[in-house]
């Protein structure tokens, strides 16, 4: 069904957006639909879009929430209304802006994507199936990433000196130059020891590049920075995911960092400790992982509880 063309102040507003702001046809259609929705909701309470008061607009926004509109959709519609009322004020079609003080609904932060413990085990199994120095390096990379929850940039650029202070920990310099000690598991320490025995195979042959690469735990013969790049590690993970029978789109260094945090909390770690291990400046950043656990438990009850299946 084709919507009726806009008229009156709405038409003037859309003309202005087209002429002065260069808005495309699809953008103009979106503005019209958003304003039409506001107009319909306001009409239901005997109000008019042009003369609506702030309480009228608040009631319309509340109606959107009751109707199940997403926070993103409601926020977009409020943004259109704010532009419209600023236009009316500028054109002297209103003496006030009823939308000026309104705040849109907060958008929910998407939950981190993670892998199950079984899926992480499958990745390790795939690394164990690789032959030669490449396989030993892949295992060491996975072990450190999952044991310490490093960011990919922290992992690939680890200097050899990261192990200098305590062999059971690595010294990590994270965002904002913040430093932390990340303890390693016995399995990770063993994997690093095995990797050091074959690390020479990944060093450049040319002396000019070798001096730079020798500083890093994971040197690269081809990368200008001297160490393994994020892109190179992403390719390693992609190949391991395929070998493990996992969808490569679900596997990334950051997904493994999320898995590290979520699995720690699921197995009894406290939030403050996980915050320190991840190198988060604020514990509120770490709290997102508690929501992941809540969602998993909710799904478990909904799918596995006998009463849920009736």
* Residue 4: pLDDT over 50: no
The mean-pLDDT minimum among 165-169, 204-208, 218-222, 277-281 falls in 165-169
Least-confidence region, from 43-57, 164-178, 290-304: 290-304
Whether 171 sits among the annotated catalytic residues: the reply is no
Q: What is the mean pLDDT of the chain?
A: 85
Structural domains in the chain, sorted by start: 8-90 (1.10.150.130), 117-304 (1.10.443.10)
Looking at 21, 165, 175, 272, which residue is catalytic? Answer: 175
For residue 309, pLDDT over 80 is answered with no
Catalytic residue among 85, 146, 195, 289: 289
Which position among 41, 209, 257, 263 bears the catalytic label?
257
Task: Give the dihedral sign, CA 150/152/156/159.
Answer: negative
Q: What is the pLDDT of residues 157-194, one digit of tens each?
A: 999 888 755 568 888 888 778 888 888 899 999 999 99
Q: What distance in Å separates the CA atoms of residue 155 and residue 151, rounded to the nearest whole number?
A: 6
Is 280 an annotated catalytic residue?
yes
Verify whether residue 227 is a known catalytic residue.
Answer: no
Q: Kindly report the pTM of this predicted structure.
A: 0.59
pLDDT tens-digit readout, 52-111: 999 999 999 999 988 988 888 898 999 999 999 999 999 999 999 999 999 877 665 566
pLDDT (0 to 100) of residue 12: 94
Is 235 annotated in the active site? no
| Contact (Cβ atoms closer than 8 angstroms) between residue 170 and residue 144 | yes
The DSSP annotation for the chain comes to -PPPPP-HHHHHHHHHHHHHS---HHHHHHHHHHHHHHHHHHHTTT--TTT--HHHHHHHHHHHHHTT--HHHHHHHHHHHHHHHHHHHHTTS-SS-TTTT--PPPPPPPPPP---HHHHHHHHHHHHT--HHHHHHHHHHHHHHHHH---HHHHHT-BGGGGSS-TTEEEEE-GGG-EEEEE--HHHHHHHHHHHTTGGGGS-SSHHHHHHHTTBSSB-SS-TTSB--HHHHHHHHHHHHHHHT--GGG--HHHHHHHHHHHHHHTT--HHHHHHHHT-SSHHHHTHHHHHHHHHHHHHHHHHSGGGG-
* 106-132: pLDDT as tens digits: 665 566 677 889 999 999 999 999 989
Which whole number is the average pLDDT over 22-39? 92
Of the residues 21, 254, 298, 305, which is catalytic?
Answer: 254
First to last CA, the chain: 40
Annotated catalytic residue: which of 41, 209, 258, 280?
280
pLDDT for res 84:
96
Range with lowest mean pLDDT among 3-17, 74-88, 250-264: 3-17
Please give the pLDDT value at position 6: 56
Higher pLDDT, 130 or 293: 130
Active site residue 32: no
296 vs 149: which has the higher pLDDT:
149
**Rounded-to-integer distance, Cα 240 and Cα 255, Å:** 14
Determine which one of 151, 199, 209, 258 is catalytic. 151
83 noted as active-site residue:
no
């Amino acid at each position: 069904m084709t919507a009726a063309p806009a008229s009156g102040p709405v038409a003037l507003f859309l003309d202005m957006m087209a002429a002065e702001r260069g808005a495309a046809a699809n953008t103009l259609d979106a503005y019209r639909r958003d304003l039409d929705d506001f107009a319909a909701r306001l009409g239901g309470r005997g109000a008019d879009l042009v003369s609506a008061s702030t309480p009228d607009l608040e009631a319309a926004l509340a109606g959107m929430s009751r109707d199940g509109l997403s926070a993103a959709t409601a926020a977009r519609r409020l943004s259109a209304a704010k532009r419209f009322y600023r236009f009316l004020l500028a054109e002297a079609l209103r003496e006030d802006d009823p939308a000026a003080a309104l705040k849109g609904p907060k958008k929910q932060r998407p939950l981190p994507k993670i892998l199950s413990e079984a899926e992480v085990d499958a990745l390790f199994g795939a690394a164990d199936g690789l032959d030669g120095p490449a396989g030993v390096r892949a295992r060491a990379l996975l072990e450190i990433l999952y044991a310490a929850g490093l960011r990919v940039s922290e992992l690939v650029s680890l200097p050899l000196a990261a192990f200098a202070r305590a062999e059971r920990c690595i010294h990590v310099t994270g965002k904002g130059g913040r430093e932390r000690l990340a303890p390693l598991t016995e399995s990770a320490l063993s994997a690093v020891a095995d990797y050091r025995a074959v690390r020479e195979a990944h060093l450049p042959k040319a002396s000019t590049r070798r001096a730079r690469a020798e500083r890093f735990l994971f040197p690269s013969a081809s990368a200008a920075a001297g160490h393994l790049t994020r892109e190179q590690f992403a390719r390693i993970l992609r190949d391991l995911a395929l070998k493990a029978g996992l969808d490569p789109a679900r596997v990334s260094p950051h997904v493994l960092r999320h898995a590290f945090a979520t699995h720690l909390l699921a197995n009894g770690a406290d939030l403050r400790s996980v915050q320190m291990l991840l190198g988060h400046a604020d514990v509120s950043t770490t709290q997102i992982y508690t929501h992941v656990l809540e969602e998993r438990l909710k799904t478990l009850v909904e799918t596995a509880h006998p009463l849920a299946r009736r």
